[in-house]
Each structure stands twice: as structure tokens, then as C-alpha cells.
Chains A and B, each alone.
Chain A
């Protein structure tokens, strides 16, 4: 009897914890269970979250936790999203950033979940991977506020592009300022090389036949007469050289023979 009562109480408690957390999602967009964000940071992030939610019609949630337990990040995030009642509209459109504080920097410590329209047309799997790649360093450095801020900014950009009908994808890659600068630098270097070639060619055209060597004199046509043409065979010389591999093998054999001779000498002395 007592055991039954304890089990029932434990189940009720668990349900209560989960349900409290779940109810909180509908209205609370930042759930900082790992306590990695300050109130001021949360306030700033909330403003951005609201802007995205209103503008693009997707529920936007940031969820931090100390650890995932034995569950994978993807499963954890899905469960959180489904059980929380997050997501707007029929397709439950929403995006979730899951940060795991204790394993920050390692794989799975930063997970970006997309749902409904955000998954199919908005950010897509390409966007998930790309945005995660761009914020990973901040997460690894435990700069969680910046990571969340960048995540929101990038998500907004991706959703905006998708709304315009040209979502970022493998065929329309998202490039950061640094990426564009890198491409510009590369093409500038190529341009400089091309410019050197063009300048050299242009400088060359400023001279025409300016440095002509003096040729040897040519005989008048059909005046060369060969009076004597003789080849006298003199001698043949043949040289043979030991090949490199054979040379090495020979040296080894010689060294082995020397050792044998030494041993024999020592034996004789004894």
C-alpha cells in the first residue's frame, strides 16, 4: 500500500514538473534552466523573439538546460516542443534553440530545431546546419547571450529570404560578411595577377624589334658545296656502373662479412 502511494505521488510530481514547464512555454519564450542568461540579456532577446514571431508567424523559443541526461539533443528538443504546445497555426510553425551548458563546445551542445513551415520552406535543414555552424564558436566560448542573439538575427534573415520566395539553400547559399570579403580578396588577388600580365604585355608593345641580335651570315642560295664528307670510326667505350640497389646490397654483404671475420679472429685469440 505504502509503495503504491509513493509511486503515485512520484508520477504526479513528475507530471506536475513537466506540465509546469510546458504551460510556461506558451507564454514564456526563453526558458533558461541552465541559468546562463542574465535578466537584461533575456529582456533584449525577448524583444527580438517577439519581432520574429509577429513578422514571420513562427513561435520562437530559446531553451537552455544543464544536461540532456541520456537523451539525444534532437529527441530532447522534439519532446520539449511537442509536449509544450509550442508552434503556431495548423502546422505548428516554430523554431527552437536548445543550448546544453555542461557540454558547451562539444557535439550536440547546441541544437536548432525547426517545425512546420519553418522546417519545410523557411529555414530548412540547410539553414539549421548553416546557422548552427555560425553560432557554434560562441557556444563553445560560453558566450550564450551572443550565441542566442546571433541565432535570432540569422533566423530572421533566413525567414525573410524565404518569405520573398528565395530561401537560402545549397543552391542559394548564405554568405556572411567575412565570406564575401574572402571572395572579394581572392578575386582581387586574381585580378592583380591578371593586371601584371596585362601591364607587361602593354609595356612590351611599346617596343618593336628594338633588340635584334646580329645573325651569322647566310650563304647565297645554292652556293654551298660539300667537298668532303667522311666519318672515320675510332673506338668504342663501354662503362658499367653498379646499380643503386645492388650497391646497397653489396655494402650490407661486405659489412656482414667483416663482422664474421672479426668474430673468427676473436675466437682464434681465445
Chain B
């Protein structure tokens, strides 16, 4: 009978097998194995981790003719607006825009409507500024709030079904000692997992100004409320043209989906003290990508040559932002607190102790 050899999972020595026995023993580490286990282990070791993701647009690209496009002279953002006679200001930086007839707005697959109006946005910003001890005196919150602008931010929304496989080295450990030795016993297992899940709403920003982390700060955007573009949607609120195509960001979407699937499979590996992933294979099917417009209220202010941005989700009202702070007030606050605590503490100690 021809002899085969299998690598011992424990010590790496080669274990010969003449094809007859069901059990073999490794001479290097004295571990006993079922030959079936060694064969399966050997097969698994040959596999290489992989990711295969593909996406396709829900519908073919179509460009809107009755919408004018403008380009900001300062931040180069490109916006589209309907029925506008003059150049609108840039919603991101407030600078002038210039009409650009070569630009065209692609028809979006989904538009999430504005539910929060300007009054709500101003109120949110004023609330954000309220009570901020370090806000510079020259920073007029009310006046700034008036400059808050709405804009539809472009995003690519990916969805797919992911089929994933993963293998983990599961280890259970036990320690004990007697008067002479300390013992450590580790039981190693090969944990195999396979599963599938549907990932929807993997959002990647297509904006030239607001990147993924900025949009994530005002997320979530409830895409179940998204609708096709209505006739009057772009009359009141401008839309930013996308700066990157879905092909430029599909790898990021794939990575997020892959990590999500890995996390799901890992969550099923239980009963071990440690479980290190050795292999994973992710494959997508029914991958679709939609071009969506997300409603955002934007306020960009400049203070002492620094730019500060306030964003509010035009659908849910969630906001994020940064405000300038006065160093003089910071120093004043420091000394005020130090003096107050110092004097009060001294007085209390002298009076009562």
C-alpha cells in the first residue's frame, strides 16, 4: 500500500499513513488522531482567504435636463438646482457659484426627503451653542444660524447577500500546579462556520465635501422613507453632484460587508477561551448599488481663519459639529475655578477645622 503523509497540527512533524489504520500517532508529540480529522485539516490548510464582491446599478444612468448646475468658486463643490435665475450661494461654504452648462445631474434612484425645516435647523444650532462657556464673544450664534443651508448630499447605497466561510483555531486552556511544577493544558479545535446574511444600506459618501465620517456623525438615514425624485424636489433644496462613482468606493463597501459577515460568524464561535481566525472566504451575490440623495442642513463658519462645520440630518434631526473656543475664556475659566476652590476651601478649613 502506498504511504501518505500528513502534517501534525500540533508539532508539525510528518505522520505517515499506510492507508489501513483509522488512528495514527504522531511520534513528535504523542498525539493520537483520527485519519479523517487529519485529512480534513490538511484540506482546510490548502484554502486561501478570499473576497469576491460585485455590484451593479439598479437602473441605467439618466441625466436631468431641466436642472441647472453650478460650481463653487471656493470649495469646488458642484450643485444642481431647478428654476433658479441667479447663481445660488454654495451651501457648504457660502461662497459664490458659477453656472456650468457642461455639468449634468444624474437622476437619483432614491431621495430621502427633508423632514426638518430651516427653523428646526436653526433651533438645533442655537441649542448646540447654548451654555457653551468657551464660545468666543465675537461669535454671534444667532447671526450664524441664519446662514444654515440645506443640501442633498450624494451617496452610493450598496446592498448584497454575503455568503461567508471561516475557520478558527479554538483553544480551551486549563492551568494548575503542584509543589514542583506549573501545568498548562490547551485543547485545540478547528471551528468551521458557514453562513449567509443580507446587507442593506451600506452607505458610502459620494460628496466632495462631506466624507463618510461626517455623514456617519449624523446617521442613521432611514432609507425605508426614501422615494424616487419628485418634480419639485430640487426647487427648494439643491443637490450636490456626486464626485466619485460607485466603482471608486465599492471596495470600501465590500470591506465593510466582509467585516460585518466575519463578525457574525465569529459571534457563533463559543465555548473557547480564544478563537483566532485562520481563514475566511466571502462572496457576494445579488449585489446592487443605488444612487441616493440624503438631506443635510449645513452651516460652515469661519473664525480666526479656522473653519467650523455644523451638520444636521434633514430627516431625523440628529446633528454634529464643532464650535470655536476662546483661549482667553479658557484661561479665565481656569483661574476662576482655581481661585474659587482655593478661597472657598481655605475659608471652610479655617472656619470649621
User: Which residue of the partner chain B has the closest CB to A188?
Assistant: B342
Say yes or no for B316: interface residue by CB 8 A criterion. Answer: no
Cross-interface CB contact of B10 among A186, A219, A235, cutoff 8 Å: A235
A228–B10 alpha-carbon span in the complex (Å): 25
Cross-interface CB contact of B345 among A190, A206, A233, cutoff 8 Å: A190
Q: Is the CB of A194 within 8 A of B132?
A: no
Which B residues contact A (CB, under 8 angstroms)?
8-10, 29, 31, 33, 37, 40-41, 128, 131-135, 165, 170, 177, 179-200, 202, 212-213, 216-218, 253, 256-257, 259-261, 263-265, 268, 271, 319-325, 330, 333-346, 349-350
- Tell me the chain A residues, 180-211 only, with Cβ under 8 Å from chain B: 180, 183-184, 186-188, 190-192, 194-196, 198-199, 202-203, 205-211
Q: Is the CB of A210 within 8 A of B321?
A: yes
Give the most central of A227, A231, A238: most B CB within 10 Å: A231
- Tell me the chain A residues, 198-246 only, with Cβ under 8 Å from chain B: 198-199, 202-203, 205-220, 223-243, 246
Can you name 29 A-B pairs with beta carbons within 8 Å? A183-B349, A184-B346, A187-B341, A187-B343, A187-B349, A191-B342, A192-B334, A194-B338, A195-B338, A198-B333, A208-B319, A210-B320, A210-B321, A211-B213, A212-B217, A219-B264, A223-B196, A227-B194, A228-B192, A230-B192, A231-B190, A234-B9, A234-B41, A234-B190, A235-B10, A236-B186, A239-B183, A240-B184, A243-B179
Q: Is the CB of A206 within 8 A of B199?
A: no
A30–B109 alpha-carbon span in the complex (Å): 107
Q: Is the CB of A220 within 8 A of B200?
A: yes
Say yes or no for A175: interface residue by CB 8 A criterion. Answer: yes
Q: Is the CB of A206 within 8 A of B334?
A: no
Q: Is the CB of B195 within 8 A of A224?
A: yes
A242–B341 alpha-carbon span in the complex (Å): 57
Q: Smallest Cβ distance from B331 to chain A, in angstroms?
A: 9
Which A residues contact B (CB, under 8 angstroms)?
175, 180, 183-184, 186-188, 190-192, 194-196, 198-199, 202-203, 205-220, 223-243, 246
Cross-interface CB contact of B199 among A187, A218, A234, A243, cutoff 8 Å: A218
Q: Smallest Cβ distance from A252 to chain B, in angstroms?
A: 15
Q: Is the CB of A191 within 8 A of B268?
A: no
Q: Smallest Cβ distance from A201 to chain B, in angstroms?
A: 10
Q: Is the CB of A191 within 8 A of B256?
A: no
Contacts of A243 in B (CB 8 A): 177, 179-182
Q: Is the CB of B350 within 8 A of A236?
A: no
A240–B176 alpha-carbon span in the complex (Å): 10
Q: Is the CB of A199 within 8 A of B333?
A: yes
Q: Is the CB of A209 within 8 A of B320?
A: yes
> What is the interface of chain B mostly: helix, strand, loop, or mixed?
mixed
Q: Are A191 and B338 also in contact (CB < 8 A) when A206-B134, A206-B325, A235-B31 are?
A: yes
A230–B44 alpha-carbon span in the complex (Å): 13
Contacts of B133 in A (CB 8 A): 202
Contacts of B132 in A (CB 8 A): 202, 205-206
A196–B261 alpha-carbon span in the complex (Å): 44
Q: Is the CB of B340 within 8 A of A216?
A: no
A191–B184 alpha-carbon span in the complex (Å): 52
Cross-interface CB contact of A208 among B193, B320, B341, B345, cutoff 8 Å: B320
Q: Are A219 and B197 also in contact (CB < 8 A) when A191-B341, A205-B132, A238-B183 are?
A: yes
A237–B342 alpha-carbon span in the complex (Å): 62
Contacts of A208 in B (CB 8 A): 128, 319-322
Q: Smallest Cβ distance from A130 to chain B, in angstroms?
A: 16
A94–B334 alpha-carbon span in the complex (Å): 52
Contacts of B8 in A (CB 8 A): 235
A230–B37 alpha-carbon span in the complex (Å): 12
Q: Is the CB of B341 within 8 A of A203?
A: no
Q: Is the CB of B341 within 8 A of A194?
A: yes
Q: Are A217 and B190 also in contact (CB < 8 A) when A195-B341, A206-B132, A243-B177 are?
A: no
Q: Is the CB of A195 within 8 A of B335?
A: yes
Q: Is the CB of B195 within 8 A of A226?
A: yes
Q: Smallest Cβ distance from A171 to chain B, in angstroms?
A: 10
18 additional contacts, CB 8 Å, given A209-B218, A217-B259, A223-B198?
A: A180-B350, A187-B346, A202-B132, A206-B135, A209-B319, A217-B260, A218-B260, A219-B261, A219-B264, A229-B193, A231-B189, A231-B192, A236-B187, A237-B10, A237-B29, A239-B184, A240-B182, A242-B180
Contacts of A196 in B (CB 8 A): 334
A227–B349 alpha-carbon span in the complex (Å): 70
Contacts of A237 in B (CB 8 A): 10, 29, 31, 185-186, 188
Q: Smallest Cβ distance from B107 to chain A, in angstroms?
A: 26
Contacts of A188 in B (CB 8 A): 338, 341-342
Q: Are A227 and B256 also in contact (CB < 8 A) when A238-B184, A246-B180 are?
A: no
Contacts of A210 in B (CB 8 A): 217, 320-322
Q: Are A226 and B268 also in contact (CB < 8 A) when A231-B191, A232-B189 are?
A: yes
Contacts of B213 in A (CB 8 A): 211-214
Cross-interface CB contact of B198 among A207, A219, A229, cutoff 8 Å: A219
